[in-house]
Amino acid sequence: MFQRFNLADFSSIAGFLPSVHGGADAAGGGLVGLLDKLLENATRSVEPGGSFQLLPGIQALGPNIHPSLVHFPIAFLSVFFLLEVLGSFFYRDKLRQAAAPMLYCGAVGAVLAAAAGLYAASTVPHGQAVHEIMEWHQRIGLIVASLALVLSAWRLLTKRVMAGMDRALYLFLAGLMTVGMVFGADLGGLMVYQHGVAVQSLQQPDAHHQHGSAAPTEGSQH
């Protein structure tokens, strides 16, 4: 049942591990050399003029922080709508109670994202072809933020459980807000991925093939 572990087996396994004082790994430095390389690179990165950047993607945005904010209200408000619908149709007050903080966080995020979007519209260069798309994106963003604030105020001021027409109107406004988010996100993606708004440089194709696709073979036609 059990096999005897031989010293030769241990030697074959140890061959894959970095040696401590030297060897063929880490350019002849072993584990000590590997650690020395890591420390050297870390020290060089924090020196003046070093290449290290903390969160380089966010730094590349510059003053346009709208893309880094807009995903939070989308997530919070989508979860709110889902919990609100399930709680209303299945009469689960706990789900509706869980939906409330999602709504409040989403409303705050929507206001911040809308404000950042208005600032970005006045600072990000864009052509006439995309200007109308951007204006509709702004209008929808303001509508979503306004509806989120209205629903939040309604939830805070209403102490009783909503029923009848009140619940129907509340769900209608919540659904309208969610549909607005979908169309607003679609217009935002259209501006970025088709018109390249706020994109500093477009990616150029090279020899790298798409993940999951077969590598080109010799003699294949392109």
Is the confidence at residue 203, as pLDDT, over 70?
Answer: no
Is the confidence at residue 201, as pLDDT, over 70?
Answer: no
Q: Which tokens hold the place of 87?
A: 């709680």
Q: Of 4-8, 150-154, 181-185, where does mean pLDDT reach its minimum?
A: 4-8
- Given this model, what pLDDT does residue 152 score? 95
- Given this model, what pLDDT does residue 10 score? 47
- Given this model, what pLDDT does residue 75 score? 95
C-alpha to C-alpha distance for 75 and 222, rounded to whole angstroms:
41
Looking at per-residue pLDDT, the higher value among 207 and 73 belongs to 73
- Given this model, what pLDDT does residue 36 score? 74
- Given this model, what pLDDT does residue 118 score? 87
Longest dimension (CA), the chain: 79
Span 124-135, average pLDDT: 78
- Given this model, what pLDDT does residue 60 score? 54
Instruction: Tell me, letter by letter, the H, E, C secondary structure of the chain.
Output: CCCCCCHHHHHHHHCCCCCCCCCCCHHHCHHHHHHHHHHHHHHHHHCCCCCCCCCHHHHHHCCCCHHHHCHHHHHHHHHHHHHHHHHHHCCCHHHHHHHHHHHHHHHHHHHHHHHHHHHHHHHCCCCHHHHHHHHHHHHHHHHHHHHHHHHHHHHHHCCCCCCCHHHHHHHHHHHHHHHHHHHHHHHHHHHHHCCCCCCCCCCCCCCCCCCCCCCCCCCCCC
Neighbours of 115 (CB within 10 A): 16
pTM over 0.85: no
Is the confidence at residue 194, as pLDDT, over 70?
Answer: yes
Span 17-34, average pLDDT: 54
Q: Which tokens hold the place of 144?
A: 């979503």
pLDDT band of 122, cuts 50, 70, 90:
confident
